[in-house]
Structure 1
Amino acid sequence: MQIMTGVVLPRQHIDRVRAGLSRMKAGTSTWLWGQHARFVLWLPALMAAGAALYFTLSWEPSAIWAWAAAMVVAGCMAARLLWGTGLPVRMGCGVVGACAAGALVAWVQAHHMPPFPDLPRRAVHLAGRVLDVEAQAQRDGAQAWRVRLADVRFLDGINTGMPPLRRVLVLRLRPDDACVPVPGDTLLARVMLSPPAFPAVPGGYDAQRRAWFDGRAGNARALDGVTCRHGHAPSGLSARIATLRQAMDARIRMALPGDRGAIAATVLVGADGAIAPGVRGAFADAGLAHLLAVAGLHLAIVMGLVMAGARMGLALSERAALFWPCRQIAAACALLAGGGYVIITGAHLPAQRSLFMAGLAVVALMAGRRVVSMRALAVAVAILLCLNAEDVAELPLQMSAAAVMALIAGFDALRPYLSAWEHDVTWWRRTGARLAHPLLASVLAGSACIPVGMAHFGTVQPWFMLANLLAVPLMSVWIMPWGLAACMLMPLGWERLALAPMGWGIGVVAWLARQVACLPVAHIGVPAIGNGGLALFFAGLCWLCLWGGWGRLPGFVPVALALLSPWWGAQPVVMVSPDARMAGVVSGHMLLTGPAAHPDPFILREWQRVTGLDAGVLPDDAGQGPLSCQGGACRVREHDGDILLLLSARGPGRGLCRDARMVVNLWAQGSCPGAAVIGRFDIWRNGAYALYPDRAGGVRALSDRQVRGARPWVMRPGGAGVPDLPMARAE
């Protein structure tokens, strides 16, 4: 009996486990079949995952890999059409095919761009055609013109007679330059050139990748006054639009001088470069930075005002009100007005994305479907990824996709409760339901954007909800209506009549931004969320928003893990800039930089984003705690050996080399015997370095070259590109 018991009980246990697994499998399959209508919503999310995977590789896939990805996409489509009745085939083909399609689109777009040119390293004379002009606010309060030049030719030395650059050059004029360029002019200037900057920290913001897909060759700074050769009137449509924008910008600033005019020009013609850094910082700390970027909010206000005006105008006619489709006509007029607004403001990518979404909403309205839905968002994001796959790694697409997803899913989940309160007999419930809409919109969109802001800025603005509840209604009902009236009065020369009250509203919003920015903990610096944490957040957000029912709740787990990820990963101990002119040491709760007392602002801002710490200067002579500096050398004490940081040109002495496990030499390649070295040549060849503590108690060095590898947009050491040489004649 005992033998039988010893044999039978394990079999019963195994049968119970198998039965439990079978029930779990059946329940999961039933739930997934119940969600089959939502499978299509995952298409853009999986395409974005494939594109993001391509951009995170440290090696460049060859054409063979691209052909293999194309074959995978074709095979998945064929399998889906032939054997698409089973759930594993549908889901497997969808996931693999969409990811492969996203990676393939990103690869094609990356290899379609022309290579970076090899820019001269000395002062050079150039000539180029002006594409557009924008006023740029300097840190000292002065303003200078920022010009985009096409067909740039260098006029000195070996560059004489070379073909024009295939990429655009961004030129910044001197603040005291008397030249006022307009699109279509030819500009002659003596400039200093600089290629797109290398990342300030391994895995940090990649300006070279952004410049690669934007078609930019680099930046230029005018050394003297430039010469403008005014040619014929601009013939192209883009040149005419740029000229119109410049003229409107000038008239707005003439009617509204100062910061109010800069903000008005930003929301009306997209001239955001003229806003003073202090004003922009106050708006950012208050959580109102989105008011200074022409995107979905401004487009929605413009289209809403035009649609309401058109529908009210049509309602004045009895025949139109009775026999015409007034709602559809008003929606079409609103879409045309929105398209014109996007063009006038420069057709920036965030505005283009919003216009795509608005166009789909108008189509849905004319077809009698839901105006705002997750399917419309999925179609818009899929189209945008096919047009610009590189935007998956940039802030605007991530921020807008997260906010819109959270708004649609949140209001879909809360619609029964809000609808019940809106139709309740109690007046205070009806009032509360109407007031809850802007509050919920601010909470949902702002909360969804917090992790994205942590990843790209390393900051959190806790008072964003308070500021948006007051500023967004004022922007909607006062500032933008007067701005549209000013645009309509501008051909008559009466724009001052509308710009004056618009300026009053802008003044109130600017005052509100300053007051909120001065509140306690209005700006909290936190360590930035890495690429892995950001991917984890979007995976959880998509799970929350794209599924239906209670099965979406597990999506909160990856979102919470992503928010906590900056404090789980190792923080860098020492960072070195890609030009070897600056080093940073994390000491306690401070980020200390040297050797100069005035660090590079871009590099310092990026290091603070990564660490979330306040900045300071490395001491000249200090020996307290784990950091000691003396005579241009700093020692960072670690458990398994010290890190020696040489900031001056002198070599390491015998006393300095004692207990040194790793040496970072900013001036030479010399080292201490028996210690690992990161010298100036290593920094020149591999870019920025970051030193992390490892689990064994030692130090792990990570370079920018290790993270990015050899990609089309990664420039060679020193920022070298392809020489701008003419093609050889055929034999």
Structure 2
Amino acid sequence: MREGREQETAWPSQFPGLTPDGPERAAERADARNMPVERRSGTAPGPGSGQLGRSIIAGLRARNWRTVIVRAVDEEQAFGHGFLFLPVFLGAGALFWFSLPQTPGFSELALLICVFGMAAVLLRHSPGLRRSAAIFTFLFVAGMMLAAWETRRADTVMLDSPVTTRIQGRVVARETTDRGHWRYTVVLAETSDPVLKRPPERVTLLSRSREAPIAIGGGVEGRVRLSPPSGAALPGLNDFAFDSYFKGIGAVGYFYGKPKSVASPDSVAHGPMAAWRGKALERIAGWREAIGARIRATIGGDAGAIAAALVTAEERAISRPTVEALREAGLAHVLAISGLNMVLVAGTFLIGARTLLSLVPGLAHRFAIKKLAAVGALVMVFFYILISGGAVSAIRSWIMISIMLVAVLFDRPSISLRNVALSALVILVVTPSAVTGPGFQMSFAATLALVAGYGHWRDRPSRDMLPITMRTRSLTLVGGFFGGLLLSSLIGGLSTMIYSAGHFHRLAAYGLVGNILAMPVISVLVMPFGLLAMLLMPFGLDYYPLLVMGQGLEWMIAIADLVSSWGGEVATGRVPHGAFLLIAAGGVLACLFRTWLALSGILVIVVGLFAGWSGETVRPVLAVAEDGRLVALIDHKAVASNRARPGDFVFSQWQRALRLEAHEKPVTRDDLSLDEPAEVAAALDATGATRRHRPPFDPREARSALKKLVAEASGGRFACVAKQWCAATTRQGWRIVTVEDARLVGAACDQADIVVTPVMLRFFACRSGALLLSGQSLRRTGAVEIYAAPGDGGARPTDKADMRVVQAQEQLQRPWARHRTYDWRSGTFDSTAATE
């Protein structure tokens, strides 16, 4: 690796000032400012800790800070570090575009591109800071343009509201679950009973039937319940509709009964190229499913499901307790096809192929067997990415590993920050939406920190001080393995900590211990024998390698269960956006800079930590799910819900984001249930008539029953009448009523301060002035949080001015939220709602 450092400063680029000018130019700049430059075998100063320490000391002793900063910037440019910031500003532009409340037009972005592009050209011979600022601004706007182009290119039709219909389509992918059910990805050909005016092109459907599944590429028909992809569970949390939009999934749902296998409908792809691409993706999906099924059948249990996930990225077959144990032990990253998996696969193949080729007499003297092995590894990782599902972490790893292997072919340094930057550039150009997700952020944060840490470790001053003997070499190899394992686990855990807290609101307290215990098993048994099994699978000789792989995974699961039993998961709650951005930006600066400017990154991290630590944690008084069925009353860390068994998907996110602990179940008061009018009961008993059109309850009886129910709802707990309504009272004196029967909305509005119902009402407000959150209004606002005014802690008559309502959907003009304004009756979008 040390010989390759001569090459790091010779990187051609079309961006002047962003690439190294070579060691001679660095020396000239240093001499011009009386700055000493260390020369080592004709190379530019390395990134070692000694050089960084001397740079920091020189900066602290200097008096003219302007001169010191200019010198440091020139030195960074001499190293070629300007290139490393290209994906940073490109990704920042894309992230800014996705966070805008409105979608700017292409004409405005094109104008900005032209303006800043011309500025970059005109300032190409200006001093370094001015030139770099122009180029980075141009890249920021280019990132916005790429995000806009991807959004327009996706153009996914999102289902507007839940509906029950009959569908016919083509299965393009399928995946088994831990309960033996099948989840299909279906391209819709037609809908009926009713016919959808805006049918989504692609949907995912769960079949609970345990009979033989429908083949990939086959036709499917059945009655289904479709729903739009859900939004954020709380304001600021992950918006699943955003992810579905860029994945091309317009609806999710399930089959009623067993789906029927029919003749495959004609392809709905537009054009022969799209049809060929669809056929190719179906073929690859078939390979993935067949390989996963073979692995699960051979190994069995959760070990088999994890083994299949390591190869095909299909994780749904893993049981939920095992997944939670891996997360609490800090081993959830093993399930993703990330850099670890790709490095182990490529490294195992490279070393194994090189060893086998060296055994051929005379071959090593006539051919460069290292390059031959690198070519084989390139082919291997290409087939690996084909069957891996195409997750961001897998693509990033594949691009970076491919660049490293190509670098081996040209005798260039393989591990460098430039490879990380190149892989990030490729992903951002093709799919800029990936920058918003935790997969992209955590993957690149860990890789960036590990590569930067490896560079400092590689060039440490004490590296060559020990005499090399057989004994010291053995100790160095063993110590290097375990020391590298400890250091890489520590760096990887620290670098991804802020992203884990920001996106998942929890940390694995003993993640370092879990990784130290499990990684030797994964590195020695799991991935190498998994690779061997894949190579032997076409010949039917994969049985015994899979058994060894399965045994290693059984040990890994046992380690995860042990570590998770210590109860080391830490709930962090929601991280303030400002603190998150500061810590993330500081980590990037600390890793990319080689001079004393790296201290600026440490300083930004410290400021971000202080901002997050000093920020006051304010919990809402009330949380309402976007479907209106789940409502939670929050008092400090205690939570009371209107459901005895709230849905885990939403409620678990509430618990982690708000750091909730004790859950109070509702009190059932069936004695306060309202009886159906006599004529309705008789009609239902006689004919089983529909419940849609029923006469209302007696208003006086309804108000009396609700008054008693509210009186019973004390102590911050809901009192409920099954299938009718629930009531609760907050510390502020707010009376909360959740209504399931639409006939009781009027009575609730008369006596409550806040009324919540999943019913799609035609009106948006109560005549009494009470706050009404119905299925219709929640469809546009998404999940809702209600906060009390500061100092509002006593029970007293409620004023709506004391409530602060925060909604998850702050705007409805973006393509992944616009479907919320669609009216299927008129077939038009409500433009007024989009601007509310």
TM-score (norm 2): 0.76
How far the C-alpha of 1:313 sits from its partner, in A, is 1.9
Q: Which residue of 1 aligns with 2:532?
A: 485
Task: Tell me, yes or no, if structure 1 residue 223 matches structure 2 residue 265.
Answer: no
Residue 345 of structure 1 aligns to a residue whose secondary structure is coil
CA contact (8 A) 1:179 1:227 kept: no
CA contact (8 A) 2:200 2:251 kept: no
Task: Tell me, yes or no, if structure 1 residue 214 matches structure 2 residue 260.
Answer: no
CA contact (8 A) 1:118 1:720 kept: no
Higher relative contact order (CA 8 A, sep 6+): 1
CA contact (8 A) 2:163 2:227 kept: no
Q: Which residue of 1 aligns with 2:731?
A: 637
Distance in 1 between the 2:495 and 2:791 partners?
A: 37
Q: Which residue of 2 aligns with 1:608?
A: 655
Distance in 1 between the 2:170 and 2:751 partners?
A: 56
Which residue type is aligned with residue 257 of structure 2? Answer: D
**Per-residue deviation, residues 349-391 of structure 1 (Å, max 9, x unmatched):** 3211111111111222222222111111111101110111001
**Per-residue deviation, residues 72-127 of structure 1 (Å, max 9, x unmatched):** 4422432343xx33133223213311211111110111122224254674432211
Task: Tell me, yes or no, if structure 1 residue 148 matches structure 2 residue 185.
Answer: yes
Q: Which residue of 2 aligns with 1:174?
A: 208
Task: Tell me, yes or no, if structure 1 residue 597 matches structure 2 residue 644.
Answer: yes
Residue 712 of structure 1 aligns to a residue whose secondary structure is coil
RMSD between superposed Cα atoms in Å: 3.1
Distance in 2 between the 1:377 and 1:311 partners?
A: 25
How far the C-alpha of 1:719 sits from its partner, in A, is 7.4
Distance in 2 between the 1:358 and 1:569 partners?
A: 44
Task: Tell me, yes or no, if structure 1 residue 348 matches structure 2 residue 391.
Answer: yes
CA contact (8 A) 2:94 2:432 kept: yes
Task: Tell me, yes or no, if structure 1 residue 68 matches structure 2 residue 102.
Answer: no
Q: Which residue of 1 aligns with 2:280?
A: 237
Distance in 1 between the 2:346 and 2:749 partners?
A: 72
Q: Which residue of 2 aligns with 1:10?
A: none
Task: Tell me, yes or no, if structure 1 residue 717 matches structure 2 residue 820.
Answer: yes
CA contact (8 A) 1:35 1:547 kept: yes
Q: Which residue of 2 aligns with 1:26?
A: 67
Residue 64 of structure 2 aligns to a residue whose secondary structure is helix
User: Which region of structure 1 is more displaced relative to structure 2, 282-291 or 95-104?
Assistant: 95-104
**Of 372, 385, 398, the match for 2:415:** 372
1:92-107 aligned at under 5 Å gives the runs 92-107=133-148
Distance in 2 between the 1:424 and 1:715 partners?
A: 68
Q: Which residue of 2 aligns with 1:550?
A: 596
**1:693–1:38 distance in 2 versus 1, CA, 3 Å:** farther
Q: Which residue of 1 aligns with 2:563?
A: 516
Q: Which residue of 2 aligns with 1:204?
A: 237
Distance in 1 between the 2:214 and 2:389 partners?
A: 17
**Per-residue deviation, residues 439-468 of structure 1 (Å, max 9, x unmatched):** 111100111111111111111101111111
**Of 321, 327, 348, the match for 1:284:** 327
**1:673–1:467 distance in 2 versus 1, CA, 3 Å:** same
**1:610–1:121 distance in 2 versus 1, CA, 3 Å:** closer
Q: Which residue of 2 aligns with 1:136?
A: 177
Q: Which residue of 1 aligns with 2:631?
A: 583
How far the C-alpha of 1:630 sits from its partner, in A, is 5.9
Distance in 1 between the 2:727 and 2:123 partners?
A: 64
Distance in 2 between the 1:717 and 1:644 partners?
A: 29
Distance in 2 between the 1:502 and 1:630 partners?
A: 53
Distance in 2 between the 1:423 and 1:351 partners?
A: 39
Task: Tell me, yes or no, if structure 1 residue 537 matches structure 2 residue 583.
Answer: yes
Distance in 1 between the 2:371 and 2:235 partners?
A: 52
How far the C-alpha of 1:720 sits from its partner, in A, is 6.2
CA contact (8 A) 2:87 2:425 kept: yes
CA contact (8 A) 2:330 2:515 kept: yes
Percent identity between matched residues is: 25
**1:196–1:674 distance in 2 versus 1, CA, 3 Å:** closer
1:397-416 aligned at under 5 Å gives the runs 397-416=440-459
Distance in 1 between the 2:386 and 2:432 partners?
A: 22
* Gap runs ≥5 in structure 2: 1-60, 266-274, 668-711, 721-725, 793-801, 829-836
CA contact (8 A) 1:135 1:146 kept: yes
User: Which region of structure 1 is more displaced relative to structure 2, 502-511 or 410-419?
Assistant: 410-419
Q: Which residue of 2 aligns with 1:11?
A: none
Q: Which residue of 1 aligns with 2:785?
A: 690
Q: Which residue of 2 aligns with 1:12?
A: none
Distance in 2 between the 1:559 and 1:383 partners?
A: 28
Residue 645 of structure 2 aligns to a residue whose secondary structure is coil
Residue 127 of structure 1 aligns to a residue whose secondary structure is strand
Distance in 2 between the 1:387 and 1:41 partners?
A: 18
**1:636–1:230 distance in 2 versus 1, CA, 3 Å:** same
**1:120–1:206 distance in 2 versus 1, CA, 3 Å:** closer
Residue 591 of structure 2 aligns to a residue whose secondary structure is helix
Q: Which residue of 2 aligns with 1:250?
A: 293
Task: Tell me, yes or no, if structure 1 residue 339 matches structure 2 residue 339.
Answer: no
Residue 447 of structure 1 aligns to a residue whose secondary structure is helix
How far the C-alpha of 1:411 sits from its partner, in A, is 2.0
Distance in 2 between the 1:508 and 1:410 partners?
A: 30
Q: Which residue of 1 aligns with 2:93?
A: 50
Residue 126 of structure 1 aligns to a residue whose secondary structure is strand
Residue 187 of structure 1 aligns to a residue whose secondary structure is strand
Residue 237 of structure 2 aligns to a residue whose secondary structure is coil
Which residue type is aligned with residue 283 of structure 1? Answer: L
Q: Which residue of 1 aligns with 2:573?
A: 527
Distance in 2 between the 1:434 and 1:247 partners?
A: 36
Which residue type is aligned with residue 26 of structure 1? Answer: T
Residue 133 of structure 1 aligns to a residue whose secondary structure is strand
Residue 597 of structure 2 aligns to a residue whose secondary structure is helix
Distance in 1 between the 2:661 and 2:821 partners?
A: 30
Distance in 2 between the 1:613 and 1:94 partners?
A: 47
Which residue type is aligned with residue 184 of structure 2? Answer: V
Distance in 2 between the 1:546 and 1:304 partners?
A: 26
Task: Tell me, yes or no, if structure 1 residue 396 matches structure 2 residue 445.
Answer: no
Q: Which residue of 2 aligns with 1:266?
A: 309
Q: Which residue of 2 aligns with 1:729?
A: none
How far the C-alpha of 1:699 sits from its partner, in A, is 4.1
CA contact (8 A) 2:220 2:259 kept: yes
CA contact (8 A) 1:179 1:228 kept: no
How far the C-alpha of 1:157 sits from its partner, in A, is 4.4
Distance in 2 between the 1:115 and 1:344 partners?
A: 24
Distance in 2 between the 1:654 and 1:605 partners?
A: 30
CA contact (8 A) 2:166 2:192 kept: yes
Which residue type is aligned with residue 143 of structure 1? Answer: G
CA contact (8 A) 2:165 2:225 kept: yes
**Of 702, 707, 715, the match for 2:806:** 702
Residue 228 of structure 1 aligns to a residue whose secondary structure is strand
Q: Which residue of 2 aligns with 1:728?
A: none
TM-score (norm 1): 0.86
Distance in 2 between the 1:469 and 1:453 partners?
A: 19
Task: Tell me, yes or no, if structure 1 residue 186 matches structure 2 residue 232.
Answer: no
Distance in 2 between the 1:538 and 1:148 partners?
A: 35
CA contact (8 A) 1:572 1:691 kept: no
Residue 110 of structure 1 aligns to a residue whose secondary structure is helix
* Gap runs ≥5 in structure 1: 1-19, 726-731
**Per-residue deviation, residues 581-626 of structure 1 (Å, max 9, x unmatched):** 222232122233x2121212222122123212225135544644xx
